[in-house]
Chains A and B, each alone.
Chain A
Amino acid sequence: MMARLLPTLAVWAVLAMLPLLLGEWELAMFGQLLIYGIVAISLAFIWGQGGLVSFGQALFFGAGAYAMSLTAKGMLPGIPASPWLGLLFAIAAGAIFGALVGGALFFGKGLRTAYFGIITIAAAVIAERVTTNWRFIGGFNGLLDVPPLPLPGGLDSADPLAGYLLVLGFALLAFLFLLAVERSPYGTVLRGIRCDERRIMSLGFFVPIWKVVALALSGGVAGLAGGLFATQFNFVSPAVIGLALSTEILIWAAVGGKGVLMAAFIGAIVVKYMEGYLSETIGNYWLLVTGIAFIVVVVLFPQGLLGRLFKLPTPYRLRGD
């Protein structure tokens, strides 16, 4: 039983050891990769557990990033310019956007899963257009000079070591949070909805509200990642909210494995790391390779490449014997 836990524990141990092995520059880069990992697990949660394929996960990520930047730069009237408050708002913005999208789509007659995908694409395009043309939030250029998060001891998150450990801590928190939800009775209902919505409905669960909550939780975690992105990269631009990033998130989660949070997390880190490494050497061919790799994974490995490795044992509650 413990053997099934080993890969997951090993990954966190290695991530915690990284500061001892890497230089400052690489550490900062890994910190950014962890942020992508967080948004990947937020998609894996809604997709793998709830069966909702969101082509617009960057919508929640971008909402978080913009909320963070606006608050931290003190652009919201009546609200103090505080980065930590900004991070809180980032989580809230992601969750609210998730709840709004879910609330608008899942109540009433409801929407078929396949249409949900198309509509999220349209929503991502709308969000990108709006942010590009909204002067107040920086328009096409976005917002620059987003301040880092201040830490005790006079440090802030712009320091490579402190920034890395901070992001790692949030990644672990996000992972444990979504894992706890996934393994709770609520998670079981969510997987039931994925398999057969009507059956869960007739068991007495009001399905729309469960789906809205799932989307809000996923949006909140994506918003957290967006907030961290804004503060670690020091800027936001419409590129963080649009279709291009949404597609990337989708590919990370699919390649890693949508059904297992840890697999999606590692999928994001590995794919993004390889992109940084390979796009210099093979240039334009990188996107072609990703596209083809994505098709191969979808057709041949629906559970992703790492899903089996990181699969955790079933909760005690659900074990038959």
Chain B
Amino acid sequence: MTLFGLALDAMNYTSVLLLVCIGLVVIFGLMQVINLAHGEFFLLGAYTVLVAQGVGIPFWLAVPMAFVAVAIVGLLCDAVILRFIYDRPVDTILATWGLSLAIRQAIVIVFGAQSQQVAAPLTTPVELFGVSYSSYRLVVMLIAVLVALAVFLVLYRTSIGLAARAAMANRQMAQCLGINMRRLDRSTFSVGAGLAGLSGAVMAPLMSVDPQMGMGFVLPAFLSILVGGVGSPVGAIWGSVVIGGSTTLVSAWWTPVIAQIVVFLLAIVTIRFLPSGLSGLRKR
């Protein structure tokens, strides 16, 4: 593995992590909901692609389908569970934790616990600066960056985004200014869930699809947004670069197990000393 190939791997992991993080950071920033079921939304996205391929729907159609399907699941979760406990932040952790257990087990019951494969739409490697690299991985990076860009454009260049940022800054004041919080919360949670589903869908061909796959993403994603700073969506970029990059580098150096231990410890230390994350550094 050359240095350049390693850098590509790091960028690949980082970009997918970013895609998972964006949903989390917006949901957390806006609703103060810590969504531990986010990994299971990722999982649902991957299984949507699996089912779609099973009935003969082409991959590139299955990806947007995954977004829509998981967004609907998110809408349902919000309507049935979350809206009753908005004012109890700690209970949202517990409820979404229960939700993640239930979804994971439902998947085990329907699809079985064994891992399954999703065929990648592109299989030919491409030559890039002398390194042969999977072309599908490059496409995944491109999708992740484009989607992240789209989300940031919505957040920073539209009136909906303005309302959302206002709500992040001061929820009560935003409500006084006539922003419909109920609707904003509902759509935020649903879009955030949909984004996790989308990431699961594009990652499905690169991973073995099994009921535990979401767990591997949700924790690094949470650590990323805490390291980046939960207050700002831009922090999610810094966080996923740090976590994604260091994980890839350390696992290339030693083993993935050591990488996980080292990166988690580093993340805990960072969060401990910078409670408002890396984006809090600039403000000081």
Report which A residues bind B (CB closer than 8 A). Answer: 51, 53, 55, 104-105, 108-115, 117-119, 121-123, 125-126, 129-130, 132-133, 247, 250-251, 254, 284-285, 287-288, 290-292, 294-295, 298-299, 302
- Per the bound structure, the CA–CA distance linking A287 and B109 in Å amounts to 10
Minimum distance in angstroms from A232 CB to a CB of chain B: 27
Instruction: Please choose the segment from B125-133, B165-173, B196-204, B262-270 that sits at the chain A interface, where 4 or more of its residues have CB less than 8 A away.
Output: B262-270
Q: Is the pair B34, A122 in contact by a Cβ cutoff of 8 Å?
A: no
Q: Is the CB of A290 within 8 A of B101?
A: yes
Q: Is B85 an interface residue (CB 8 A)?
A: yes
The distance in angstroms between the C-alpha atoms of A122 and B95, with both chains bound, is 19
A129 with B272, Cβ < 8 A, contacts A295-B99, A299-B85 known: no
Binds A, one of B9-17, B46-54, B154-162, B218-226: B218-226
Of B98, B105, B223, which contacts A122 at CB under 8 A?
B223
Interface segment, one of B61-69, B86-94, B234-242: B86-94
Distance of A117 Cα from B219 Cα, bound (Å): 12
Q: Smallest distance from the beta carbon of B91 to chain A beta carbons, Å? A: 5
- Quick check: B275 and A298 within 8 Å, CB to CB? no
B273 surroundings in chain A (CB, below 8 A):
108-109
Contact at A291–B102, with CB atoms within 8 Å? yes
Q: Which residues of A contact B261 (CB under 8 A)?
A: 126, 129-130
Find out whether the CB atom of A125 lies under 8 angstroms from the CB atom of B102. no
| Cβ-closest 8 pairs across A and B | A291-B102, A291-B101, A294-B98, A295-B98, A287-B105, A288-B105, A298-B94, A298-B95
Q: Is the CB of A117 within 8 A of B93?
A: yes
Q: What is the CA–CA distance of A148 and B109 in the complex, to the nearest angstrom?
A: 39
Chain B residue at minimal CB-CB distance from A294 = B98
**Does B105 contact A299, Cβ atoms closer than 8 Å?**
no
User: In the complex, are the beta carbons of B275 and A292 less than 8 A apart?
Assistant: no
Q: How far is the CA of A247 from the CA of B94 in the complex (A)?
A: 10
- Known contacts A285-B109, A287-B105, A290-B101; A53/B219 CB under 8 A: no
- CB A43 to nearest CB in B, in angstroms, measures 12
Q: A288-B102, A295-B102 are in contact. Are A122 and B268 (CB under 8 A)?
A: yes
* Contact assessment for B98 and A298 in the assembled complex, using a CB-CB cutoff below 8 Å: yes
User: In the bound complex, what is the Cα–Cα distance between A247 and B215 (angstroms)?
Assistant: 14
Q: How far is the CB of A30 from chain B (nearest CB, A)?
A: 26
Within 8 Å of chain A (Cβ to Cβ): is B271?
A: yes
Residues of A within 8 A of B105 (CB): 284-285, 287-288, 291
Nearest-neighbour CB distance to chain B for A193, whole angstroms, equals 14
Besides the known contacts A119-B268, A284-B105, 5 further A-B residue pairs in the complex with CB atoms under 8 A apart: A111-B275, A132-B257, A284-B109, A287-B101, A298-B91
B94 to chain A: which residues have CB within 8 Å?
53, 250, 254, 294, 298
Inter-chain contact B93/A53, CB cutoff 8 Å: yes
Do residues B89 and A122 form an inter-chain contact, with CB atoms below 8 A? no
Which B residue's beta carbon lies closest to that of A286?
Answer: B105
A114-B90, A122-B219, A295-B95 given; A104·B272 CB < 8 A: yes
Q: Does B152 contact A (CB under 8 A)?
A: no
C-alpha spacing A123/B260, complex, angstroms: 11
Do A119 and B271 touch (CB < 8 A)?
yes
Q: A125-B219, A284-B105, A295-B102 are in contact. Are A302 and B91 (CB under 8 A)?
A: yes
Let me know if B153 is at the binding interface, CB within 8 A. Answer: no
**A53/B90 in contact, CB under 8 A:** yes
The distance from the CB of B12 to the nearest CB of chain A, in whole angstroms, is 23
Which residues does chain A contribute within 8 Å of B219, judged by CB atoms? 121-122, 125
Nearest-CB residue, chain A, relative to B28? A114
10 contacts between A and B (CB under 8 A): A53-B90, A109-B273, A114-B89, A122-B267, A125-B264, A126-B264, A130-B261, A250-B94, A291-B101, A291-B105
Question: Which residues of chain B come closer than 8 Å to A112, judged between CB atoms?
Answer: 275
Partner of A295, one of B81, B109, B223, B226: B81
Cα–Cα distance between A55 and B97 once the two chains are bound (Å): 10
Complex formed: what's the CA distance from A60 to B88 in Å? 27
- In Å, the complex CA distance between A225 and B264 comes to 27
- Chain A residues near B223: list those with CB within 8 A: 118, 122
Bound-state CA distance A251–B95 (Å) is 11
B106 touches A288 (CB 8 A): yes
CB distance from A116 to the nearest CB of B (A): 10
Residues of A within 8 A of B103 (CB): 291
Given A53-B90, A126-B265, are A114 and B109 neighbors across the interface (CB < 8 Å)? no
**Bound form: Cα–Cα A23–B34 in Å:** 46
A104 CA to B269 CA, complexed, in Å: 9
Interface check B108, CB cutoff 8 A: yes
Are A291 and B99 in contact, with the CB atoms below 8 A? yes
A104: B residues at CB distance < 8 A = 268, 272
Q: In the docked arrangement, what's the CA distance between A139 and B267, Å?
A: 25
Complex CA–CA separation, A122 to B267 (angstroms) = 9
B84 CB-CB contact with A under 8 Å:
yes
Find residues 185-209 in chain B having any chain A CB closer than 8 Å to their own CB. Answer: none
CA distance A121 to B106 in the complex (A): 23
What's the minimum C-beta distance from B250 to chain A, rounded to whole angstroms? 13
A128 CB to nearest B CB, Å: 10
Contacts of B265 in A (CB 8 A): 126
Residue from A112, A117, A122 having most chain B Cβ neighbours under 10 A? A122
Q: How far is the CA of A130 from the CA of B257 in the complex (A)?
A: 9
Contact (Cβ within 8 A) A118 B90: no
B81 contact set on A, CB distance < 8 A: 295, 299
Residues of A close to B85: CB separation below 8 A: 298-299
Contacts of A126 in B (CB 8 A): 260-261, 264-265
